[in-house]
Amino acid sequence: MTWEAWFTLGVVLVMIILLARDFTAPAAVVFAAVVALLVAGVIEPGQALAGFSNPAPVTVAALYVVASGIERTGVLNRLIDSTLGGGGSERMTLARLLLPSAGASAFLNNTPIVAMLVPAVSRWSQRVGRSVSRYLMPLSFAVILGGMVTLIGTSTNIVVSGLMQGSAMEPMGFFEVAKLGLPVAGFGLILLILLAPTLLPDRRGARRDIEDVREFVVELRVDRGGPLDGSSVEGGGLRHLVGVFLAQVERGSELIAPVGPDTVLHGNDLLRFVGNARDVADLTGRAGLTPEAKQHTAGIPTGRLALFEAVIGDASPLVGSSLKSVGFRDHYQAAVLAIHRADRRVEAKLGEVRLKTGDTLLVLGSPAFADRWQGSNDFLLVSRFGAADPPRADKVIPATLIGIGVVVVAALGLLPILEVSLLGAFAVVLTGVLSPGEARSAVDLDVIIVIAASFGVGEALFQTGLASNLAGWLVDGFEPLGPVGVLIGVALATIALTEAITNNAAAVLMFPIAVAAASRVGADPRAYAIVVAVMASASFLTPIGYQTNTMVWGPGGYRFGDYSRLGFPLTLLTLAAVGTLAPTWWAI
């Protein structure tokens, strides 16, 4: 290999390691890899920026807006609430949840569907007394399966279609991926319904921890003329308490929250503390504080404050930092009551805990917290406890008609997917379903940048001949198993990558390798491209391979290994479909 190929291989390996270890936001890692290849002279500026001129990132961004518009109307939310009803057998309930969710994900982006349904399913499970862990992972897997059926079902399909177009192939047809995806989705849903009740354990979800938090709230009143009257919070020794913090100060009709260290306390102020039972109890003996006669230990007052569940994704700037180091209270104007990791609450001084991907924060803040931070890179999911924000029922008809119009026009081939998705996004704003600001917030810029920057890395793989070399090694390893064996090898390599890094980045990295492998064995490169699209979405083994898996990790209370329990049969099913169905549709 040339030095350019070796250099590219080194850059790709470093990129994969950094993505797998959640070193920083994926967009920063992939973009840095492209910059390194550009500066080293491996690729030209036009090649480095090829992804930004490809239709795929713009199409994905536009479809985010269309999906968000439908989400805001609450149509699917009401459908799920009415569908689940009061319960019934667990398998029947799963069928009623998973089938419409998978159907919706064939035409809407997966992420907003899961973002909308996680709070609804969590509230329903609490109401009927069932463990939410029995439903959220199957929900994530179901929308992944549904996304395999159409071109717009997942951003990965759109990315591969853009790569095909850039490689002088015809772009992917609207239902072309369904040749593999539809059978996988159908049998996969059957497996989920049959196996989930048997394979998934009962876990304690993050929402259950809020019950513990609510038990440990105490109200103390500042004594007039006492040692704390006229003192600041920090000066009075109430700032850096172990296991407890001052959540609110109520002064007549004024409510101060979050409470800063310089807040001056006045006599008769009502202070609300939150923390562990023993630590809160110790406060009652402090000089200058008198326990309020009427305690509100059954729940945190939410008149002007609300409780939220906020899930940290791999693109969050909070990953690797502590609440104290980022100044969480000042920056987010909210306080963290608890941190939930895997299936348990983190028992430590919250301000010093290093946050990880999948952590769920139980947050106390103003009702505007969700509007301000939902859709940002800071949190993958923000949902409010208690009553949800009212849906925009007056926009149900225009949002639904726009969504149906995008699907029909794209499916019939009346307009290219780029044009129809852009028209749909503009229509969502023009009809008032979303404001321009809401439309901007609906677009996950981290995903868009990862897609666009990944094209530059893919160009380097192709231009340096590294893709051909890697394909040669792959073919040599699997050729003894025959042509189908080589295709299975491509599928296995794609699965390994998508579980370690983002699905879109995995698709872009595997595409040139797959096409080169097809050329070496004389197969139809289109078949290999479709297999890459399907397998890059088939992330069922870990919570970090696909965004929706991460979104349900904390709320479902899952442990890392829980995913492989249910995901392994689905992975085997997908590989079997590749080996049996691909030769039927294409020349392998």
CA separation (Å) from 438 to 68, 404, 434? Answer: 9, 21, 6
Q: Does residue 544 belong to any structural domain of this protein?
A: no
Q: Does residue 37 belong to any structural domain of this protein?
A: no
Question: Are the C-beta atoms of 357 and 22 separated by less than 8 Å?
Answer: yes
Tokens of 83: 């569908």
Residues of the chain predicted below pLDDT 70: 22, 75-82, 85-87, 204-218, 242-243, 275-285, 292-305, 342-343, 347-348, 375, 385-391
pLDDT at 284: 60
How would you list the strands of the sheet with 344-345, edge to edge?
A: 344-345, 334-341, 360-365, 306-311, 381-384
pLDDT at 80: 65
Question: Are the C-beta atoms of 496 and 541 separated by less than 8 Å?
Answer: no
Residue 395 DSSP label: G
Nearest Cα to Cα of residue 36 among 460, 403, 374, 381: 460
Q: Does residue 433 belong to any structural domain of this protein?
A: no
In which domain, by residue range, is 274 found? 217-291
Instruction: Count structural domains, the chain.
Output: 1
pLDDT at 315: 74
Q: What is the DSSP string of 190-209?
A: HHHHHHHHHHPPP---HHHH
Cα gap 4→335, rounded to integer Å: 50
Cα gap 295→277, rounded to integer Å: 14
For residue 98, count CB atoms less than 10 angstroms from its CB and return exposed for 0-12, middle for 13-18, buried for 19 or more: buried
Q: Does residue 231 belong to any structural domain of this protein?
A: yes
pLDDT at 285: 63
Torsion of CA 522, 525, 526, 528, to 10 degrees: 100
Q: Does residue 54 belong to any structural domain of this protein?
A: no
Supply the CATH number for residue 237's domain.
Answer: 3.30.70.1450
Q: Does residue 435 belong to any structural domain of this protein?
A: no
List Cβ neighbours of 400 (8 Å cut-off, separation of 6 or more): 70, 73, 75
Nearest Cα to Cα of residue 377 among 394, 362, 357: 357
Q: 123-161 as b/e, with b when 16 or more CB fall inside 10 Å?
A: bbbbeeebbbbbbbbbbbbbbbbbbbbbbbbbbbbbbbb
Nearest Cα to Cα of residue 192 among 261, 135, 233: 135
Residue with tokens 């998934």: 200
pLDDT at 184: 95
Q: Does residue 473 belong to any structural domain of this protein?
A: no
Cα gap 469→397, rounded to integer Å: 53
Nearest Cα to Cα of residue 582 among 480, 485, 513: 485
| 524, amino acid identity | D
Q: Does residue 236 belong to any structural domain of this protein?
A: yes
CA separation (Å) from 31 to 38, 377, 452? Answer: 11, 16, 9
